[in-house]
């Protein structure tokens, strides 16, 4: 079980995932601006990968850490493998843009011009724009004995300028401004055309205006990515909020981990940057075309181009709440919501109703990532101002959302909320909201649990599941959870939920063992699990044992998967699938056949060491038969996908499902149409499909 051949390296598996995102940019069946969006997402993903994962491996090399991962690779070996893979990916990104997307844009009338292609009027427009708007913003930074190599912001786009000197040439740097658009729309195109020019090209054209009296020999673009991992000593920190604020400021100036340069940059200038950033040759990436493909995010948001994007889908309202007070509806029955197909508004309404209801005495909620203008937080503030007891656990260590969460934490405290910043050494990642209400002389507890964040923005683009209940057992368990998080309680007696790092791992392992026993005793053995990532070696070993016992295992893993399926004698009964589509697959669902009396769980946790060992996570049982069937339908439709579903091979690569002779099924589109049908909206002339229930037959 410890043989390195049976595992896939975590970092290389993540790069395979980003490769699947890039495939969507190359996929000509996607609409044009959707393809550009996927290209931008792949670029943004790669930035974060270097800022966190690559920097962590570099730290290990510097510290001379001798450990190896499950595949037997040292940190240095992983860095070399990553570099080779990312260099290949950069070529694919460049080819995707220059050979496919830009020509496709031109066919639709969108042109990115070179200076020689500009009309006389456009040249005049750009010259006026440069001297009136761009020139006053620019700050050239000379480098000499009195002015050392400057600190350059993380992910900033910069120019290196070589000037002719008397004895040796001079070097200056300049940041391309981010306070004005990088894509400049040009005036006077022919009818039916839109023409553009890049800001960095405009600066290059008029660079001499910034260095009068000198001859400019060369100007090239480059971009540096820095270590952005927050290194916080929670044990010795007297003020965690202050410590995190200081760490965020340091993030801008972390040590360099990647240098991107224009492909045509002179070798001696590349060497100059390499020396000053103290990087190795494998950390340098030559880019053909514009650097930083995240620029396409702004381009695809321009108005008047809806025909090049997926039609806007407005999430369907949940009929369970129609014509009823929200607490009446939840008291009547448990309710399950599938986002973004079904609206997140019910969650916002739940917290809003609690804030405004005179019978509500207290609200307790966890917040991991929230939107910049969060209606959830506004409702909590309103509740506190109305005198209700409001307790909010704000996770300050939510990566890249720390600043946002600090702002909200301060506003909540100022309004009178009791704000808790989480537990030392643990991130609080569970999603829970408890409303305590006095009804007819007794206390009722209403609970919302979810697989995703209380974020109204991401709820429109992440697939997640929310669960409402007024069952007393759930109310007791969530009350116990908040007592664990805010006080010194050691009461772990939970009936309906399991909590990491206390009981969650054991629950998953026990349920896998149960499937093994059932299979050995002649019953069906079946596990279906959907998650973002599968990394935990202990869980993988359990799945291998289950496979060897004959248990059929179907895993839907969006991103990283370190389990190697299809290995004879080890994992031949395991299939792994991944979906990359218009929405980010984010829900965590776990199904265990349990001899025809299935356990169906939802969770905030992936099967990763950090989720099971170093985070506060929960899983919770779905017991209502109708809700179980709704979740099983989600699994069935997902596994029936013949358009976006990819299958992991034993060699660590992914292939698309062979759909020859199969019905055209795109699961996310099916969920949209299903929501429209069920909520009495026009379903574009389609009837609901019937899917073979995998949980009964064990087959797709």
**Do 4-308 and 499-697 have matching folds?**
no
In this prediction, residues 159-170 reach a mean pLDDT of: 91
Higher pLDDT residue, 167 or 549?
549
Three-class SS state of 377:
helix
**Predicted confidence (pLDDT) at residue 700 exceeds the cutoff of 50:** no
In this prediction, residues 649-653 reach a mean pLDDT of: 95
pLDDT value of residue 493 = 83
Q: What secondary structure, in 3-state letters, does 667-681 show? A: HHHHHHHHHHHHCCC
Three-class SS state of 540:
helix
Report the distance separating Cα 543 and Cα 557, nearest Å: 14
Angle between helices 667-678 and 625-639 (to 10 degrees): 140
Chain-centre distance of CA 491, in angstroms?
34
pLDDT value of residue 136 = 96
Higher pLDDT residue, 542 or 693?
542
8-state DSSP, 403: H
In this prediction, residues 114-118 reach a mean pLDDT of: 94
Report the distance separating Cα 442 and Cα 418, nearest Å: 24
**Predicted confidence (pLDDT) at residue 328 exceeds the cutoff of 90:** yes
Determine the topology of domain 4-308 in CATH.
Answer: polyphosphate kinase like (3.30.1840)
pLDDT value of residue 253 = 59
pLDDT value of residue 400 = 52
* Cα atoms in the Cβ-side hemisphere of radius 13 Å centred on 474: 25
Query: What sign has the CA pseudo-torsion 307, 637, 466, 575?
Result: negative
Report the distance separating Cα 18 and Cα 16, nearest Å: 5
Report the distance separating Cα 474 and Cα 451, nearest Å: 16
Domain ranges of the chain: 4-308, 319-494, 499-697
pLDDT value of residue 245 = 52
Three-class SS state of 66:
coil
Highest-confidence segment of 345-354, 412-421, 490-499: 345-354
**Predicted confidence (pLDDT) at residue 689 exceeds the cutoff of 80:** no
Angle between helices 75-95 and 55-62 (to 10 degrees): 150
Q: Which residue has the tokens 């995707």?
A: 96
Task: Residue 320: name the closest of 630, 587, 638 by CA.
Answer: 630
pLDDT value of residue 682 = 41
Note the pLDDT tens digit of each residue in 477-525. 999 999 988 876 666 789 999 999 999 999 999 999 999 999 999 999 9
**Predicted confidence (pLDDT) at residue 238 exceeds the cutoff of 50:** no
The CATH architecture that domain 499-697 belongs to is 2-Layer Sandwich (3.30)
Neighbour-count burial of 156, counting CB atoms closer than 10 A to its CB (0-12 exposed, 13-18 middle, 19+ buried) = middle
Q: Which of 226-230, 430-434, 520-524 has the lowest mean pLDDT?
A: 226-230
**Predicted confidence (pLDDT) at residue 399 exceeds the cutoff of 70:** no
Enzyme catalytic residues? 429
In sequence order, the β-bridge partners of residue 438 are 443
Q: pLDDT grade, residue 698 (50/70/90)?
A: very low
**Predicted confidence (pLDDT) at residue 276 exceeds the cutoff of 70:** yes
Q: Which of 60-64, 257-261, 592-596 has the lowest mean pLDDT?
A: 60-64
**Predicted confidence (pLDDT) at residue 35 exceeds the cutoff of 80:** yes
In this prediction, residues 620-643 reach a mean pLDDT of: 95
pLDDT value of residue 692 = 55
Mean of pLDDT over the chain = 90
Q: pLDDT grade, residue 420 (50/70/90)?
A: confident
Task: Residue 546: name the closest of 528, 526, 530, 531 by CA.
Answer: 526
pLDDT value of residue 368 = 86
Determine the topology of domain 319-494 in CATH.
Answer: Endonuclease; Chain A (3.30.870)
pLDDT value of residue 237 = 41
Report the distance separating Cα 485 and Cα 423, nearest Å: 7
Q: Which structure tokens are listed for 193? A: 């055309």
8-state DSSP, 97: I
pLDDT value of residue 395 = 79
CB 562 within 8 A of CB 480: no
In this prediction, residues 204-219 reach a mean pLDDT of: 94
Q: pLDDT grade, residue 244 (50/70/90)?
A: very low
Angle between helices 402-415 and 375-385 (to 10 degrees): 20
CB 429 within 8 A of CB 615: yes
CB 427 within 8 A of CB 501: no
Q: Which residue has the tokens 């004895």?
A: 167
Please tell me the pTM assigned to this model.
0.91
Higher pLDDT residue, 406 or 557?
557
Three-class SS state of 160:
strand
**Predicted confidence (pLDDT) at residue 695 exceeds the cutoff of 70:** no
pLDDT value of residue 554 = 98
**Predicted confidence (pLDDT) at residue 231 exceeds the cutoff of 80:** no
**Predicted confidence (pLDDT) at residue 628 exceeds the cutoff of 80:** yes
């Amino acid at each position: 079980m410890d043989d390195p051949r049976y595992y896939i390296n975590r970092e290389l598996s993540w790069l395979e995932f980003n490769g699947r995102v890039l495939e969507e940019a190359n996929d000509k069946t996607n609409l044009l601006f959707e393809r550009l969006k996927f290209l931008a997402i792949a670029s943004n993903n790669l930035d974060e990968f270097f800022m966190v994962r690559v920097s962590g491996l570099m730290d290990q090399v510097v510290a001379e850490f001798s450990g190896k991962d499950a595949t037997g690779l040292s940190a240095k070996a992983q860095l070399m493998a990553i570099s080779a893979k990312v260099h290949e990916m950069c070529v694919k990104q460049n080819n995707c843009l220059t050979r496919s997307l830009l020509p496709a844009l031109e066919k639709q009338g969108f042109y990115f011009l070179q200076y020689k292609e500009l009309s006389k009027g456009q040249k005049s427009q750009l010259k006026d724009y440069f001297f009136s708007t761009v020139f006053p913003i620019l700050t050239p930074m000379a480098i000499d004995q009195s002015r050392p190599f400057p600190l350059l912001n993380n992910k900033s786009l910069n120019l290196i300028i070589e000037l002719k000197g008397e004895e040796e040439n001079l070097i200056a740097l300049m940041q391309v401004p981010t306070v004005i658009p990088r894509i400049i729309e040009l005036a006077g195109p022919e009818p039916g055309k839109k023409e553009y020019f890049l800001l960095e090209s405009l600066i290059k054209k008029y660079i001499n205006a910034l260095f009068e009296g000198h001859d400019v020999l060369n100007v090239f673009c480059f971009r540096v990515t820095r270590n952005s991992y927050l290194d916080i000593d929670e044990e010795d920190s007297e003020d965690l909020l202050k410590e995190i604020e200081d760490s965020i400021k340091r993030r801008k100036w972390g040590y360099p981990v990647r240098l991107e340069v224009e492909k045509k940059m002179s070798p001696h200038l590349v060497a100059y940057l390499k020396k000053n950033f103290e990087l190795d040759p494998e950390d340098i990436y030559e880019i053909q075309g514009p650097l930083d493909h995240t620029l396409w995010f702004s381009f695809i948001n321009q108005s008047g181009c809806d025909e090049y994007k997926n039609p806007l889908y407005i999430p369907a309202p949940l009929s369970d709440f129609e014509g009823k007070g929200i607490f009446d509806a939840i008291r009547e029955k448990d309710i399950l919501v599938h986002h973004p197909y079904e609206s997140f508004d019910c969650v916002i309404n739940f917290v809003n109703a609690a804030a405004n209801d005179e019978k509500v005495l207290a609200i307790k909620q966890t917040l991991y990532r929230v939107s910049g203008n969060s209606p959830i937080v506004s409702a909590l503030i309103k509740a506190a101002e109305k005198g209700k007891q409001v307790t909010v656990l704000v996770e300050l260590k939510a990566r890249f959302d720390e600043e946002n969460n600090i702002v909200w934490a301060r506003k909540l405290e100022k309004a009178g909320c009791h704000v808790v910043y989480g537990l030392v050494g643990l991130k609080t990642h569970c999603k829970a909201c408890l409303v305590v209400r006095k009804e007819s002389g007794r206390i009722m507890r209403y609970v919302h649990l979810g697989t995703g964040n209380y974020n109204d923005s991401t709820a429109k683009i992440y697939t997640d599941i929310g669960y409402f209940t007024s069952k007393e057992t759930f109310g007791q368990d969530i009350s116990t959870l908040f007592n664990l998080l805010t006080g010194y309680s050691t009461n772990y007696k939970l009936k309906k939920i399991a909590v990491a790092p206390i009981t969650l791992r054991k629950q998953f392992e026990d349920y896998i063992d149960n499937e093994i026993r059932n299979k050995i005793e002649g019953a069906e053995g079946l596990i279906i699990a959907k998650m973002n990532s599968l990394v935990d070696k202990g869980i993988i070993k359990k799945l291998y044992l289950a496979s060897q016992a004959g248990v059929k295992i179907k895993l839907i893993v969006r991103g990283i998967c370190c389990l190697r399926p299809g290995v004879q004698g080890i994992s031949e009964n395991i299939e792994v699938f991944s979906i990359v589509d218009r929405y980010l697959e984010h829900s965590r669902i776990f199904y265990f056949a349990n001899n025809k009396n299935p356990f169906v769980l939802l969770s905030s946790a992936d099967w990763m060491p950090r989720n099971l060992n170093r985070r506060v996570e929960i899983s919770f049982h779905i017991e209502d038969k109708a809700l179980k069937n709704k979740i099983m339908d989600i699994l069935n439709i997902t596994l029936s996908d013949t358009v976006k579903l990819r299958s992991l091979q034993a060699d660590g690569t992914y292939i698309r499902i062979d759909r020859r002779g199969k019905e055209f099924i795109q699961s996310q589109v099916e969920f949209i149409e299903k929501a429209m049908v069920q909520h009495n909206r026009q379903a574009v002339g389609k009837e609901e499909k019937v899917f073979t229930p995998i949980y009964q037959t064990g087959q797709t």
